[in-house]
Amino acid sequence: MTETTATPDPTMEAIGKALVLGRGGGIETARRDLLAIWQQIGVAGDPFHRCTLAHYLADLYEDPAEALIWDIRALDAADGLKDERAQQHHASLQVAGFYPSLFLNIADNLRCLGAFEAAAEHISSAEQHTSALSDDAYGDTIRTAIHEVRQAIDNRDTARRASAPGAA
């Protein structure tokens, strides 16, 4: 079954619209829209909404410290998320598949900030969760990024990766 949710989810629709806007170059407007949605959701709101929004919002910040805050919020929300809730949005979603990307993003931001030991811990967590990734283009992208970040950590390189998502 590959259908999305049977019931429309206005919050996910609004998050999706902001994501498209941000990827199209409207970064400031997308960020403002996502922050407004975050205010509606609240820090104790639906973990799926919080995880998705924080994950996308982090990519709209060039400053790794600002992105890190949102990436940590995404990871925190994922820890409270169940597969059943994620599958209300799309039947194929498994929360375990979120963790490689979430840990990768935190590791990459920590690396950019020069916190190499903490970055190494998080990239190790990303590596440990790669078995949850599908054998598809998305999984390949995340595995490649994990490898790139691991190399950058080992080289003590704080430069932004050319393949990193975001506002740059």
Confidence (pLDDT) at 163? 80
- Which range is least confidently modeled, 44-48, 67-71, 86-90, 142-146? 86-90
Is the CB of residue 52 less than 8 Å from the CB of residue 86? no
- Which range is least confidently modeled, 9-13, 91-95, 111-115, 128-132? 91-95
C-alpha span between 35 and 142 (Å, rounded): 26
> Quick one: average pLDDT of 92-113?
96
- Report the chain's mean pLDDT, rounded to a whole number: 93
On the CB side of 158, CA atoms within 13 Å amount to 10
C-alpha span between 70 and 59 (Å, rounded): 9
Confidence (pLDDT) at 166? 64
pTM for the model stands at: 0.90
108 membership: H or E segment, kind and range? helix 99-112
Percent of the chain with pLDDT over 70: 94
155 DSSP 8-state letter: T
